[in-house]
């Protein structure tokens, strides 16, 4: 191996410091803290109690399963809703308008989650825009209860995450040669066949990385379930927040945090395995 010059160390030292102090050590500490419990004498001891309480109290593991189930379903829903949009913007609409319409998609992302979720709160409330509109056109007489339900929570989660699906899918579709679609069409393939046999397989890398982004955002989200969800719309992150910010039981919170990290890592690992993708590709 050739001799390293100073420049190499100039680059690697800050990068190592970043990864060691902000990624590796914090997660090791998270893992260790999750086994810490204070015994009756007030001394911190090693124990599995934090994990046991997760399995003993059904509200915890039911919320865990619920969060996992909803996160996967909303990710699939986000794909179904946004795929036609991504296809339209890359393959159907003329290039002149496509860049403008793509830019419009980015505005809600950059405006930020809190503002958009607040907007949905106003839209969906009893005196909100949607209820007023429906009463005005005479579809309903009394406001429908939409805010503080699972419905409003799903809308919020979908809204803040789905745009992260479009961008990678669009870049995958961009690289699909139009002539392949033309050839299939000339040979008599139906639209459905073209979509399922050519377009979707080709854009699989984009779908996988978009799906992972969306899934991550949903499963780790706190704002949408907390602001838009009702009393029964429990979300696993809310329990972690409570342990850290309300009941101040950090080691219990650490155990729950570690469980969430395991859940998301396993699901992402499975998706990468099934679709044959690499983590490196997710970033691009």
In the region spanning residues 166 to 195, those forming contacts with another protein, defined by CB under 8 A, are 178, 181-182, 185, 191, 194
Taking CA atoms, 86 is separated from 25, 89, 102, in Å, by: 40, 5, 9
Please pick, from the candidates 49, 172, 207, 260, the single residue that binds another protein as defined by CB under 8 A.
260
Q: Which of 159, 157, 171 is nearest to 282 (CA)?
A: 171
Q: How far is the CB of 62 from another protein (least distance, A)?
A: 19
- Binding to another protein in span 209-248, by CB under 8 A: 212-213, 216, 219-223, 226-227, 237, 240-241, 244-245
* Binding of residue 8 to another protein (CB under 8 A): yes
Alpha helices in the chain (DSSP H): 6-19, 25-33, 49-56, 58-87, 95-111, 113-124, 129-136, 150-174, 178-186, 191-194, 200-202, 204-219, 223-228, 236-241, 250-275, 279-283
The one among 43, 104, 137, 187 contacting another protein by CB under 8 A: 104
- DSSP run (H or E) holding 284: none
Stretch that binds another protein, among 15-23, 37-45, 57-65, 72-80 (CB under 8 A): 15-23
- For the bound state, the minimum distance from the C-beta of residue 69 to another protein, rounded and expressed in Å, comes to 17
Give the whole-angstrom CA distance, residue 13 versus residue 5.
13
Considering only residues 55 through 94, tell me which ones interact with another protein, judged by CB under 8 A. 81, 84-85, 88, 91-92, 94
Are the beta carbons of 251 and 37 closer than 8 angstroms? Answer: yes
Eight-state DSSP code of residue 125: S
**122-151 mask for another protein (x: CB under 8 A)?**
xx-x-xxx--x-------------------
Minimal distance, residue 149 CB to another protein, in Å? 17
Of 58, 99, 142, 232, the one binding another protein (CB under 8 A) is 99
């Amino acid at each position: 191996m050739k001799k390293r010059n100073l420049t190499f160390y100039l680059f690697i030292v800050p990068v190592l410091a970043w990864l060691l102090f902000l990624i590796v050590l914090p997660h090791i500490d998270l893992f260790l803290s999750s086994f810490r419990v204070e015994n009756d004498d007030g001394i911190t001891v090693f124990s599995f109690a934090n994990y046991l309480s997760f399995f003993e109290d059904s509200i915890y593991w039911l919320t865990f399963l619920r969060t996992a189930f909803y996160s996967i379903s909303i990710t699939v829903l986000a794909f179904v809703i946004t795929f036609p949009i991504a296809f339209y913007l890359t393959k159907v609409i003329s290039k002149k308008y496509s860049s403008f319409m793509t830019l419009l998609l980015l505005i809600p992302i950059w405006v930020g989650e809190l503002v958009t979720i607040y907007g949905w709160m106003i839209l969906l409330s009893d005196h909100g825009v949607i209820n007023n509109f429906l009463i005005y056109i005479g579809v309903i007489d009394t406001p429908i209860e939409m805010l503080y339900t699972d419905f409003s929570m799903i809308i919020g989660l979908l809204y803040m995450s789905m745009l992260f699906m479009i961008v990678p899918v669009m870049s995958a579709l961009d690289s699909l040669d139009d002539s392949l679609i033309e050839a299939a069409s000339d040979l008599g393939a139906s639209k459905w066949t073209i979509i399922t046999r050519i377009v979707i397989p080709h854009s699989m890398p984009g779908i996988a990385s978009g799906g992972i982004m969306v899934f991550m955002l949903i499963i780790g989200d706190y704002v949408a379930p907390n602001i838009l969800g009702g009393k029964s719309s429990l979300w696993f992150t809310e329990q972690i927040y409570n342990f850290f910010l309300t009941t101040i039981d950090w080691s219990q919170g650490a155990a729950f945090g570690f469980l969430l990290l395991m859940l998301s890592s396993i699901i992402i690992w499975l998706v990468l395995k099934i679709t044959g993708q690499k983590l490196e590709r997710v970033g691009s």
